[in-house]
């Protein structure tokens, strides 16, 4: 069995038709899902980008011990486990922050980082912002960087997701004849700045003549006029449809090369994004004095698994990125050490993954001084456990899927139970007691 993982940064679960969305056009992923198992309760644990991937690589939930960095030396690393089992491993990505700092590329036999290769002489200092800097995250530092990297774009083939998926296709041509191979494909395309080709935005709006808001403020959405917020959402939707098209190109490559019968394919994201929901725009706070809760809009993720031997079309139960390491080792008959994550392979037949009673989602921001609440997800409820002085929140997703009505006051015993479960989990995963104390009441 060969395995390919496609990770799409910032893809909201509710932006896919296969998850019930009527908002965004995603025909390629939706078609793939028709012959795959869709995880109905997948949630990010260690948040956001790099921490989520480190969970997937290590089979652990790492946020109680550390935040934005690579694995500990003694932790298992998925690509290394596969290499030890005789699998040839490759990484194709344009998500540069997986390479710079955490160095996740070092665990593979080979990697290909797609980067700007055009020397057009344009630097971030040359970029003029279309709205005042204070309306951007980080006062437009990221916006200027991105726009200078993309200033040469003329055709759709220039966009990062196009180049990444085409390079992944080439990798398959180069290595598919091997006895066993593993490929992780990672694209940052959907992450802001939301700047797809204009015809993708045109699928979702027409006649917009307002300010060019394409880079969320990572603040409250009341700064936007309704038409400006709709434009921001349209640009995001355009990025998703662009990505869907090129992921579809890669999925088609698997098909035309005759690899479907012995290749498992996993599609997933790392987290979602507020685009006006709960009065916010962004995935997390940038204000150290104003921590944000992570509701399902951000914490829940799409996770779709197609295995040649799988029969289930939906997997119920809580799933988290740490389950990827044992799942992939199981699919490839590679030895797997004990992990907090549990293999999804049995669920590909049964349709039920009952390995986790809770998923705990947060960012360990101690090193950055950024406070964070912890989201505790059960099969039926969501609890937001904050640091003092804020009070916990509780939502019943069965009757309130958008998590708008806090019922904590009506269910103090359940809140206390989930709060206690969180404290126990943090200690079991090796959190420093000083960190645990921040969540005691």
The pairing of strands 263-269 and 359-361 is unpaired
Give the total residue count for the chain. 441
What pLDDT digit, counting tens, does each position of 92-151 carry?
999 999 999 999 999 999 999 999 889 899 999 999 998 888 788 888 999 999 999 999
Q: What is the CA radius of gyration of the chain?
A: 21
**Domain range list for the chain:** 2-116+152-356, 380-441
For β-strands 181-187 and 88-93, DSSP reports them as parallel
- pLDDT tens, position by position, 395-437: 999 999 999 999 999 999 999 999 999 999 999 999 999 999 9
Q: Is the domain 380-441 a CATH 3.30.1120 member?
A: yes
More confident: 14 or 213: 14
pLDDT at residue 353 above 80?
A: yes
DSSP state of 180: S
Establish whether domains 2-116+152-356 and 380-441 are of one fold: no
Report whether 56 contacts 49 (CB < 8 A). Answer: no
* pLDDT at residue number 137: 84
**Average predicted confidence (pLDDT) for the chain:** 95
What would the two tokens of residue 160 be?
């990062």
Q: Report pLDDT for 327.
A: 98
Average pLDDT, stretch 20-40? Answer: 97
**Cis-peptide into 337, omega within 30 deg:** no
Among 178-182, 249-253, 309-313, 371-375, whose mean pLDDT is lowest? 371-375
- Give pLDDT tens digits for 162-211: 999 999 999 999 999 999 999 999 999 999 999 999 999 999 999 999 98
Please tell me the predicted confidence (pLDDT) of residue 198. 96
Q: What average pLDDT does the segment 57-63 reach? A: 98
88 pLDDT tier (thresholds 50, 70, 90): very high
**pLDDT confidence of residue 366:** 72
Is the pLDDT confidence value at 48 over 70? yes
Whether residue 161 has pLDDT greater than 70: yes
Say which CATH class 2-116+152-356 falls into.
alpha beta
DSSP-based three-state secondary structure for 182: strand
User: Is the pLDDT score of 369 beyond 70?
Assistant: no
The residues pairing with 316 across neighbouring beta strands, listed in sequence order, are 352
Q: Are 141 and 125 in contact (CB under 8 A)?
A: no
- 419 secondary structure, DSSP code: H
265: phi then psi, degrees, rounded to nearest 5:
-125, 130
Q: How far apart are CA 248 and CA 326, in angstroms?
A: 26
Q: How confident is the model at residue 367 (pLDDT cuts 50, 70, 90)?
A: low
């Amino acid at each position: 069995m060969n395995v390919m993982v496609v990770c799409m940064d910032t893809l909201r679960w509710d932006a896919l038709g296969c998850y019930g969305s009527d908002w965004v056009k995603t025909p390629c992923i939706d078609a793939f899902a028709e012959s795959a198992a869709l995880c109905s309760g997948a949630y990010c644990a260690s948040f956001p980008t790099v921490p989520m991937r480190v969970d997937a690589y290590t089979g652990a939930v790492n946020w109680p011990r550390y935040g934005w960095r690579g694995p500990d030396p003694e932790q298992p690393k998925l690509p290394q486990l596969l290499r030890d089992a005789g699998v040839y491993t490759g990484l194709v990505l344009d998500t540069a922050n997986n390479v710079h700092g955490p160095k996740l590329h070092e665990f593979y036999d080979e990697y290909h980082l797609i980067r700007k290769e055009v020397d057009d002489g344009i630097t971030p200092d040359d970029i003029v912002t279309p709205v005042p800097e204070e309306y951007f995250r980080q006062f437009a530092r990221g916006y200027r960087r991105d726009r200078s990297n993309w200033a040469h774009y003329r055709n759709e083939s220039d966009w990062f997701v196009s180049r990444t998926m085409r390079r992944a296709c080439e990798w398959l041509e180069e290595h598919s004849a091997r006895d066993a191979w593993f490929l992780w494909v990672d694209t940052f395309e959907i992450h802001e700045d939301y700047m797809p080709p204009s015809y993708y935005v045109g699928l979702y709006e027409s006649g917009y003549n307002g300010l060019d808001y394409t880079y969320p403020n990572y603040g409250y959405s009341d700064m936007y006029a309704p038409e400006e917020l709709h434009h921001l959402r349209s640009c995001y939707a355009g990025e998703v449809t662009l990505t869907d098209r090129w992921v579809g190109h890669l999925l088609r490559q698997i098909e035309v090369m005759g690899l479907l019968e012995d290749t498992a394919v996993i599609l997933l994201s790392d987290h979602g994004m507020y685009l006006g929901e709960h009065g916010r725009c962004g995935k997390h706070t940038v204000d150290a004095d104003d921590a944000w809760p992570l509701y399902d809009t951000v914490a829940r993720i799409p996770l779709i698994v197609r295995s040649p031997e799988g029969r289930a079309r939906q997997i119920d139960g809580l799933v988290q990125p740490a389950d990827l390491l044992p799942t992939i080792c199981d699919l490839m008959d590679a030895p797997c050490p004990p992990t907090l994550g549990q293999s999804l392979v049995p669920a590909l037949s049964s349709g039920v993954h009952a390995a986790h009673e809770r998923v705990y989602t947060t960012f360990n921001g101690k090193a950055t001084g950024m406070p964070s609440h912890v989201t505790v997800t059960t099969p039926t409820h969501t609890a937001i456990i904050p640091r003092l002085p804020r009070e916990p929140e509780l939502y019943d997703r069965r009757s309130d899927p958008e998590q708008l009505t806090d019922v904590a006051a009506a269910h103090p015993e359940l809140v206390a139970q989930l709060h206690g479960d969180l404290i126990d989990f943090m200690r079991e995963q090796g959190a420093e007691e000083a960190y645990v104390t921040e969540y005691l009441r």
